[in-house]
């Protein structure tokens, strides 16, 4: 969620400073002119950012504001209630701003801020995630910023980490009191694995990261802080083990709250039935495409056999080495085909994921908009050495699928998108990027490069892209089924195996995720909304004419640049900016 004009503020400040040196400046006795509505709004916007960071300092650290290093928010029930009250009070002030007095950019920023607040209030007040869902904590206390982001010397980051770690016992107590249960079974297992993982992480995996710091006192502080953090998280894990006795199957949000989630977090005001129909249509489109490619790639075989053949060609030297080569090839493709402007010379590094963060096969760590000169890292997790040789081999993706993992995370996916948002003149638009925009863009990007020819005469590449798209289609359908239609976790699991050709372990994991992360429908929902916006925007540009292929690809380039210039807003709101009216989002 972002949008704004810090560039305007800096320029205005510079002009005022220069004006003071001009001979034509008004005499001292002249009254200063009143602040314009745009200047008044800029003050409110900047105050919103600063007050948000003061209330949620860990978010500030993630954004690159390291004066907040080591600080954590108050996660007690009283602290959570205080933050809800603050958000409501802030919303009242922002909502009272007179739209008619603001220029277009400032109106967009005002809407952006309201969406940020509504997203927070949905999570904290409507869905009550801090009191019902352990995933709200597991993802929001990860200290990776201190461990992997090279924004300061290691000893400086070590001191910040120690301050953070000393807060963990108190946070563990707050979590235990807030998540009193009974909780759904999948939530309990998530908590056991997540908080148990933190216990092992604090105990075994932090000290090697800071081993190069030759300060005996700091090392002792680290050891003491980690020991207490590990003990508190192990105790929290044991608490949730005890909750297995009372665990339920009651995880569904219900239709009303599910639709409130879409409205409050993404400004999607569309009946859930229409979203489901769009997801089913995309599933059918991708299934037909998979059958057609498999008929070419492995005639007369099953779709599972076709996919197995695609996965059998592994990257030489392993996935890290393979991905490094792929990034250069993908970037060359982006440049040669004028997919979008690349706004800087930054490159993403590829590295093996650190031992404490291997829950996903691949992820990218992008510095915040306030961080400068800090590299983004595309992390790839190796298979668990405790697995059998066969399991380890199966875990490593084939070359074709690794290509689209790299496309999703780097070119033209998350990395390119965050190059744009981090360089946005508005810090507001750099700090908050919406779920549907970020994942929708990355998923859209995978399909886009196929449309632009990367898989021409390479059916294995197209098969890999389709397989990932099918998984995201089933996520959408599963989220809706689990939370609005009475679907069971077992039924969701079968849908992943039957419709997305997932192996049983991945299907089980995806079905469980759907119970506690219903927002994972936003991969496909975001992609579909971006595709619809592209179609409508190109039609507007052509004014009734039919574009030739070269014209259309140039228009796509222009569309992508314009889309990415807005940060990461709610896509329906973006339609209004780019088309003049919202219209149908799907």
Question: Mind listing the pLDDT tens digit for each residue in 104-160?
Answer: 999 999 999 999 999 999 999 999 999 999 999 998 999 999 999 999 999 999 999
Q: What is the pLDDT of residues 39-69, one digit of tens each?
A: 899 999 999 999 999 999 999 999 999 999 9
15: which 2 tokens? 């002009």
3-state secondary structure of 364: strand
Residue 503: pLDDT band with limits 50, 70, 90: confident
Residue 506: pLDDT band with limits 50, 70, 90: confident
Spatial distance between the Cα atoms of 377 and 364, rounded to a whole number of angstroms? 6
Which DSSP helix (H) or strand (E) runs through 350? Answer: strand 349-352
Q: What is the pLDDT of residues 329-379, one digit of tens each?
A: 999 999 999 999 999 999 999 999 887 677 678 999 999 999 999 999 999
Q: What is the 3-state secondary structure (H, E, C) of 117-148?
A: HHHHHHHHHHCCHHHHCCHHHHCCCCCHHHHH
> In this structure, what DSSP letter does residue 205 have?
I
> Do the beta carbons of residue 441 and residue 531 sit within 8 Å?
no
401: which 2 tokens? 């699928």
- Least-confidence region, from 1-15, 19-33, 121-135: 1-15
Spatial distance between the Cα atoms of 221 and 208, rounded to a whole number of angstroms? 14
Token pair 């894990």 is found at 237
pLDDT (0 to 100) of residue 29: 42
Q: Tell me the average pLDDT across 215-221.
A: 98
What is the residue-wise DSSP string for 278-310?
HHHHHHHHHHHHHHHHHHHHSTTS-HHHHHHHH
Q: Which of 529, 324, 291, 496 is nearest to 406 (CA)?
A: 324
Spatial distance between the Cα atoms of 209 and 356, rounded to a whole number of angstroms? 10
108: which 2 tokens? 């967009």
Q: How far is CA 426 from the centre of its chain?
A: 19
519: which 2 tokens? 């927002």
> Do the beta carbons of residue 149 and residue 374 sit within 8 Å?
yes
pLDDT (0 to 100) of residue 547: 81
Burial of 71 (0-12, 13-18, 19+ CB in 10 A): middle
Q: What strand order describes the sheet that includes 362-365?
A: 349-352, 377-380, 362-365
pLDDT (0 to 100) of residue 34: 57
Q: Tell me the average pLDDT across 501-526.
A: 94
Angle (CA) 269 582 39, round 5°: 105
pTM: 0.92
Burial of 33 (0-12, 13-18, 19+ CB in 10 A): exposed
> Do the beta carbons of residue 180 and residue 232 sit within 8 Å?
no
Pairing relationship of beta strands 362-365 and 377-380 according to DSSP bridges = antiparallel
CA dihedral 550, 556, 559, 565 (to 10 degrees): -110
């Amino acid at each position: 969620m972002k949008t704004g004009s810090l560039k305007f503020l800096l320029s205005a400040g510079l002009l005022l400073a220069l004006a003071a040196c001009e001979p034509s400046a008004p005499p001292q006795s002249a009254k200063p002119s009143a602040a314009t509505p745009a200047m008044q709004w800029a003050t409110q916007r900047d105050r919103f950012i600063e007050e948000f960071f003061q209330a949620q300092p860990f978010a500030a650290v993630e954004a690159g504001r390291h004066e907040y290093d080591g600080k954590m928010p108050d996660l007690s029930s009283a602290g959570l209630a205080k933050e809800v009250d603050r958000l409501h009070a802030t919303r009242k002030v922002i909502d009272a701003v007179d739209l008619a007095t603001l220029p277009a950019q400032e109106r967009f920023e005002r809407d952006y801020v309201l969406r940020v607040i509504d997203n927070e209030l949905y999570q904290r007040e409507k869905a009550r995630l801090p009191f019902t869902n352990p995933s709200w904590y597991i993802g929001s206390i990860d200290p990776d910023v201190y461990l992997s982001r090279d924004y300061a010397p290691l000893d400086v980051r070590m001191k910040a980490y120690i301050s953070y770690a000393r807060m963990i016992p108190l946070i563990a107590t707050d979590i235990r009191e807030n998540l009193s249960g009974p909780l759904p079974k999948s939530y309990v297992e998530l908590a056991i694995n997540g908080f148990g993982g933190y216990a092992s992480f604090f105990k075994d995996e932090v000290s090697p990261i800071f081993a190069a710091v030759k300060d005996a006192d700091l090392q002792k502080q680290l050891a003491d802080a980690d020991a207490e953090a590990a003990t508190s998280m192990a105790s929290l894990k044991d608490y949730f083990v005890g909750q297995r006795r009372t665990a339920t199957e009651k995880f569904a949000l219900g239709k009303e709250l599910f639709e409130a989630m879409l409205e409050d977090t993404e400004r999607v005001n569309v009946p859930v039935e229409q979203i489901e129909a769009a997801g089913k249509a995309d599933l059918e489109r991708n299934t037909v495409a998979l059958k057609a490619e498999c008929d070419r790639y492995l005639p007369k075989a099953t779709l599972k056999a076709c996919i197995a053949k695609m996965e059998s060609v592994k990257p030489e030297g392993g996935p890290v080495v393979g991905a490094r080569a792929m990034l250069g090839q993908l970037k060359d493709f982006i440049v040669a085909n004028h997919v979008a402007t690349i706004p800087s010379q930054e490159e993403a590094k590829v590295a093996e994921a650190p031992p404490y963060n291997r829950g996903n096969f691949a992820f990218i760590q992008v510095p915040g908009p306030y961080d400068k000169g800090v590299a983004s890292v595309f992390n790839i997790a190796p298979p668990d050495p405790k697995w059998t040789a066969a399991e380890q081999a199966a875990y490593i993706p084939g070359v074709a699928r690794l290509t689209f993992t790299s496309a999703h995370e780097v070119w033209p996916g998350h990395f390119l998108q965050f190059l744009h948002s981090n360089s946005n003149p508005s810090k507001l638009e750099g700090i908050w990027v919406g779920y549907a925009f970020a994942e929708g863009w990355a998923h859209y990007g995978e399909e886009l490069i196929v449309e632009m020819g990367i898989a021409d005469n390479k059916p294995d590449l197209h098969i890999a892209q389709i397989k990932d798209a099918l998984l995201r289609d089933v996520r959408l359908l599963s989220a809706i089924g689990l939370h609005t239609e009475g679907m069971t976790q077992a039924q969701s699991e079968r849908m992943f195996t039957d419709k997305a050709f997932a192996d049983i372990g991945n299907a089980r994991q995806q079905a469980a995720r759907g119970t506690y992360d219903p927002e994972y429908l936003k991969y496909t929902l975001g992609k579909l909304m971006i595709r619809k916006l592209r179609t409508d925007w190109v039609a507007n540009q052509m004014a009734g004419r039919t574009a030739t292929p070269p014209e259309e690809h140039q228009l796509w380039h222009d569309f992508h640049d314009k889309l990415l210039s807005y940060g990461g807003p709610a896509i329906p709101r973006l339609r209004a900016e780019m088309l003049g009216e919202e219209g149908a989002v799907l």
